[in-house]
Amino acid sequence: MSEFAGLGANLGMSTGMIPITAPPETPKLPPREWVKANLFSSPFNSVLTVVASIIILAITRGLMSFIFNPQRQWDATATNLRLLMTQAYPEEQYLRIWIATAVVFTLTGLSLAVWRAGSAVPLSDVGRRLLTFGGTIALLVLLAPFSVRATIIWLVVAVAVAGGGEALRRLVDDERTMSTLGILLIGLSGLVGSLWVIPYGNHTFQLHRTPRVLAEPGTVALTTKLPWTVMLLVAVAAYFLGIFIRERLPTNAPRITLLLLWLLMPPTLLYLVLRDPSFDMGHVLGTDIPIFLVYAVLGGALLNWLARPSTGEIGRIVAALVLVAAFAAFLTPMRMIVRLDMLVLAAFALAAPTFSGGPRARKNYVIGWLGFLGIMSWLVTAINTPSTVKVPGQFFIGGLSLTLIVAVFTIVISFPLGLALALARTSNMPIFRLLATWFIEFVRGVPMITILIFFSIMVPLFLPPGMHLGEVAAVIIGYSLFSAAYLAENVRGGLQSVTRGQHEAAEAVGMTTSQKTVFIVLPQALRISIPPLVGHCIGVFKETSLLAIIGLFDVLFIARSVMPNQTEFMGSTKENVLFVSLIYWIFCYQMSKASQRLERRTGLGER
Amino acid sequence: MTDAAAAEPADDQGQTRDLSNARDMIVCEEVSKWYGDFRALDKISTTIKEQEVVVVLGPSGSGKSTWIRCINRLEIHQEGRIVVDDVELTNDLRNIEQVRSEVGMVFQQFNLFPHLKVIDNVSLAPIWVRKKPRAEAEEQAMAQLERVGIPEQAHKYPGQLSGGQQQRVAIARALAMEPKIMLFDEVTSALDPEMVKEVLDIMKTLALSGMTMMVVTHEMGFAKEVADRIIFMEEGQIVEQGTPTHFFENPTEDRTKLFLSQIL
Ligand SMILES: Nc1ncnc2c1ncn2[C@@H]1O[C@H](COP(=O)(O)OP(=O)(O)O)[C@@H](O)[C@H]1O
Ligand SMILES: [Mg+2]
């Protein structure tokens, strides 16, 4: 990580001494003067402020009266939350989903601690935020069509929040600070705690039960509030475990382990949630493990030899031969895993001179190969084994889970693919350049829907029977290819912004093209491409809503078509769509914030 | 024609240094290069001996950069032969990588890697090109940073350093590869005047330590003091070459005289 911590692009080198200390902060104006200086500095500015305020108030009022109109069927959304999240995932298997969530929370807690996330904010700042928050609540309450009683209750809440904030601001001296993680924890505890005391109601919608709708007053069902409480505790425990690890181990080992775990997490969890293969142990012992062992031993020995600096030119020839053999393997009938292993071995063999070195470097390289081989063998074996999870219908997962699965996998897969395409398109080798350009231009010239439809028809033909993932896998593959083409163009912009001087400096110290690319060009190019890349990720996330067209039930489709078809909730589209928009917005806004933080952190080298 | 000039070079004490028996480090034979129709190098021929310090002078656009960049093949010459430390520069990738790892180059624009700390800038190539263990490479990088006088900047980013400091890091980065030859292309031209001296001093020390050096510069004082030989170029050709004494006190060519009258 530390290599990437400072991907600055100090392209226009300046020659003067650059001050390293931050400039003194401009003193904050008191609120009254700030308002005067910024909102009412001139007659024109004052008119603008007044007009804008009126428009904003009118819009807010409209929105509030829409949301809190007694005619709104928010019951439809509340009752169908399970449908929105996971569609038809069998209830008795929910434990899998909770375990998957717990894994994510554990990794998050550990990472927060190991990377020392969070910072200290002065308590007076917290107070100021609370004051603003309370004021906003009060304003919204006054604009909303509440009954007198509700208005009074909410106003009391707003005044309490604002008063607390003001007290913090005035009474606590400026030196006192609080960790942002602490604030986060208080907020989350409040939310989870509220599940136990506030009567949100106990809502479910079940097709195969009468009455199908359950909407009882009272607190949230135990099957929801208990798991969420456990999740919060798990995250907190993981955080303290992370601190324990951080204090006792050197920095790098836990970080690398965590990064690997994050990379392994999506396929593992997908597996946990969607599959429960019944392994044919005879086949595993008799075929899969021997193939793995042969590749592990022979491939390991070959790579160890190739990564020896003394091997020299003959190594490149051998690596090229392995590649030819791998391609040839696709022309002759044999097991897919044998071909795939061969292809990966060829990739490792070709890269061997770049990573060659002493015994330690070679050992690491061979371990990398063994790890990769092991994971790949496991995945292929597992995917080729029928699942014992009994599920109704064809697509038993949908809703937000499906949206997230498709988005995460598409982003994760299309990233390396897009990088490779961008590098190929800018490389000196005409063949690569031509292929990449054709691919990109073809994909960009075709609507995404056609690609999705094509893959949803074709891919299931290649998958073994008993796999429930056919459509989802197809969509992920097609969508990844589509996304990679666009991603490649974003990265290409970054690649072109790396100056010729940087290339020459890397070449002048004798780096090979691949070393130059990995250590010098890509880090700088990616730093420049962060904003368009994150924009692209946000686009990928939102456009999963097109999955409905090929018959998958993404969260928006459920909201706009499935729920309004339930006889109990006819015509509830408006409410559902508003709710789903909120879900989309929360995710996209977080990505956007993450991008800004990443930019700030990687901008380190620019100072 | 070249060996005659190299036979009686003078070092900074004004004593002559006899390098005629030294090994040939760089041999150029009738090297020519075109950019489109424009002839940037016109039959350059000369031999640079081990430990020799050659300063290349000439008006802007005369092909100095082009020539010096041909020597580690950042530019490709189209005719003639260039042999560096007994390896001829051809399209063979192995030769190019070998030559580049033995020839250090310092650029006018520093070209430090902005995303890497100073220490990583210096140790990256030893680790990945020379295949040294990281600890050893970092130790040697620190030694090089001490040699150029800025060990205390090791854990900053290039953007946090002054121009002179950046250029010294660039020199340390080249030296960390333990090169046999160092190329300098107008390394002080982008520096503020008060920083020129700190960089020139390092180059002087380097010259005294016996490094083979090829230096493109406009610093006449440096040329007079440090050069074993001065090569004057114009329009892609070598117009005149000789010891600093010969070159500055009684140049033979009219074009040299004109150049000197403009610059001094
Ligand atoms: N990449 C290039 N394409 C076309 N012409 C070039 C290129 N690089 C240099 N030249 C031309 O070659 C000539 C020599 O350039 P250069 O070697 O940079 O001169 P110097 O370093 O002596 O100032 C100049 O006329 C310049 O315009
Ligand atoms: Mg030049």
The residue among B123 and A469 whose pLDDT is bigger is: B123
CA distance A49 to B59: 62
CA distance A111 to A260: 12
CB contact under 8 A, B107 and A604: no
Instruction: Write the pLDDT tens digit of every residue in A498-553.
Output: 999 999 999 999 998 889 999 999 999 998 899 999 999 999 999 999 888 888 88
DSSP-assigned letters across all residues of A454-510: HHHHHHHHHSPTT-TTHHHHHHHHHHHHHHHHHHHHHHHHHHHHS-HHHHHHHHHTT
pTM: 0.78
DSSP-assigned letters across all residues of chain B: -HHHHHHS-B-TTS-B---TTSPEEEEEEEEEEEETTEEEEEEEEEEEETT-EEEEE--TTSSHHHHHHHHTTSS--SEEEEEETTEE--S-HHHHHHHHHHEEEE-TT----TTS-HHHHHHHHHHHTS---HHHHHHHHHHHHHHTT-GGGTTS-GGGS-HHHHHHHHHHHHHTT--SEEEEESTTTTS-HHHHHHHHHHHHHHHHTT-EEEEE-S-HHHHHHH-SEEEEEETTEEEEEE-HHHHHHS--SHHHHHHHHHH-
A23 pLDDT above the threshold of 60: no
CB contact under 8 A, A7 and B115: yes
The residue among A186 and A398 whose pLDDT is bigger is: A186
How buried is residue A567: exposed, middle or buried, by Cβ count under 10 Å (0-12/13-18/19+)? exposed
Residue A487: both structure tokens together: 């991603």
Q: What is the mean pLDDT of residues B152-173?
A: 92
Atom of ligand 1 nearest to the CA of B69: 17
Cβ of B65 below 6 Å from ligand 1: yes
Find which of B115, B132, B156 to mutate to test the A interface (most A CBs within 10 Å of its CB). Answer: B115
CA distance B106 to chain A (A): 8
C-alpha B93 to ligand 2 mean position (Å)? 26
Atom of ligand 1 nearest to the CA of B62: 22
Q: CA torsion sign, A417 to A423 to A429 to A431?
A: positive
High-pLDDT (> 70) share of chain A, %: 90
CA distance A588 to A360: 43
Q: Which residues are CB-neighbours of A309 under 8 A, at least 6 positions away?
A: A356, A357, B131
CB contact under 8 A, A523 and B115: yes
Instruction: Write the pLDDT tens digit of every residue in A229-273.
Output: 999 999 999 999 999 999 988 888 888 899 989 888 887 887 777
CB contact under 8 A, A6 and B191: no
- Asked if A355 and A307 touch (Cβ cutoff 8 Å), the reply is yes
Cβ of B66 below 6 Å from ligand 1: yes
How buried is residue B161: exposed, middle or buried, by Cβ count under 10 Å (0-12/13-18/19+)? buried
CB contact under 8 A, A607 and B159: yes
- Residue A16's pLDDT is 37
Find which of A363, A509, A511 to mutate to test the B interface (most B CBs within 10 Å of its CB). Answer: A509
How many CB pairs lie under 8 A apart between chains A and B? 124
A436: left (phi over 0), alpha (psi -120 to 50) or beta: alpha
Tell which one of B56, B65, B184, B237 to mutate to probe ligand 1, the residue whose CB is within 8 A of the most ligand atoms: B65
Chain A CA closest to residue B163: A15
Cβ of B217 below 6 Å from ligand 1: no
A433 pLDDT above the threshold of 60: yes
High-pLDDT (> 90) share of chain A, %: 37
Ligand nearest to the CA of B187: 2
C-alpha A501 to ligand 2 mean position (Å)? 13
CA distance B255 to chain A (A): 32
A7 pLDDT above the threshold of 50: no
Please state whether beta strands A213-216 and A202-205 pair in parallel, antiparallel, or not at all (unpaired).
Answer: antiparallel
C-alpha B186 to ligand 1 mean position (Å)? 14
Taking contacts as CB-CB distances below 8 angstroms, the residues of chain A near B123 are none
CA distance A115 to chain B (A): 20
C-alpha B222 to ligand 2 mean position (Å)? 17
In A332-429, which residue ranges form alpha helices assigned H by DSSP? 336-351, 359-383, 399-426
A14-23, A160-169, A309-318 — which one is most confidently predicted on average?
A: A160-169
Cβ of B35 below 6 Å from ligand 1: yes
A9 pLDDT above the threshold of 50: no
CB contact under 8 A, B116 and A358: no
Give Cα separations from B234 to B6, B64, B72, B218, B223 (angstroms). 20, 9, 21, 14, 17
Taking contacts as CB-CB distances below 8 angstroms, the residues of chain B near A509 are 100-101, 104, 124-125, 129, 173-174, 177
β-sheet bridge partners, residue A399: A554
CB contact under 8 A, A501 and B111: yes
Instruction: List the helix and strand counts (H, then E) for chain A.
Output: 26, 4
Of A14, A17, A515, the CB nearest to B128: A515
Cβ of B128 below 6 Å from ligand 1: no
Cβ of B61 below 6 Å from ligand 1: yes
β-sheet bridge partners, residue B234: B237
H/E stretch holding A301 reads helix A300-306
φ and ψ at residue A386, rounded to 5 degrees: -65, 155
The pLDDT confidence band at residue A3, using thresholds 50, 70 and 90, is very low
In A30-122, which residue ranges form alpha helices assigned H by DSSP? 31-39, 43-67, 74-79, 81-86, 94-114
Q: What is the mean pLDDT of residues A343-348?
A: 90
Nearest to B63 by CA among B262, B216, B183: B216
Atom of ligand 1 nearest to the CA of B63: 17
Taking contacts as CB-CB distances below 8 angstroms, the residues of chain B near A520 are 113
> Which domains, from first to last, does chain A contain?
72-89+393-607 (1.10.3720.10), 90-267 (no CATH), 279-385 (no CATH)
- Under DSSP, is residue A42 helix (H, G, I), strand (E, B) or coil? coil
Q: What is the mean pLDDT of residues A65-89?
A: 83
The pLDDT confidence band at residue A387, using thresholds 50, 70 and 90, is low
CB contact under 8 A, A507 and B128: no
Assess whether the previous peptide bond of A211 is cis (omega < 30° from 0).
yes
Tell which one of B33, B37, B38, B70 to mutate to probe ligand 1, the residue whose CB is within 8 A of the most ligand atoms: B38
Nearest-CA residue for ligand 1 atom 16 is B63
Instruction: Write the pLDDT tens digit of every residue in B66-117.
Output: 999 999 999 999 999 999 998 898 888 778 888 998 999 999 999 999 999 9
**ipTM confidence score:** 0.90
The pLDDT confidence band at residue A467, using thresholds 50, 70 and 90, is low
CA distance A421 to A429: 13
A24 pLDDT above the threshold of 60: no
Q: What is the mean pLDDT of residues B25-42?
A: 92
Q: Which residues are CB-neighbours of A215 under 8 A, at least 6 positions away?
A: A75, A78, A79, A201, A202, A203
CA distance A71 to chain B (A): 58
Residues with CB under 5 Å of ion ligand 2 are: B 65
Q: For residue B43, give the amino acid letter.
A: K
- Asked if B114 and B166 touch (Cβ cutoff 8 Å), the reply is no
Cβ of B250 below 6 Å from ligand 1: no
CB contact under 8 A, B107 and A515: no
CB contact under 8 A, A509 and B173: yes
Q: What is the mean pLDDT of residues A165-181?
A: 85
B87-88 sheet: strands from edge to edge: B38-49, B24-35, B79-84, B87-88
Nearest-CA residue for ligand 1 atom 17 is B63
Taking contacts as CB-CB distances below 8 angstroms, the residues of chain A near B116 are 3, 6, 605
CA distance A91 to A98: 12
Instruction: Write the pLDDT tens digit of every residue in B189-226.
Output: 988 888 899 999 999 999 999 999 999 999 999 999 99
The residue among A483 and A283 whose pLDDT is bigger is: A483
Q: What is the mean pLDDT of residues A449-453?
A: 89
**Mean pLDDT over the full length of chain B:** 88
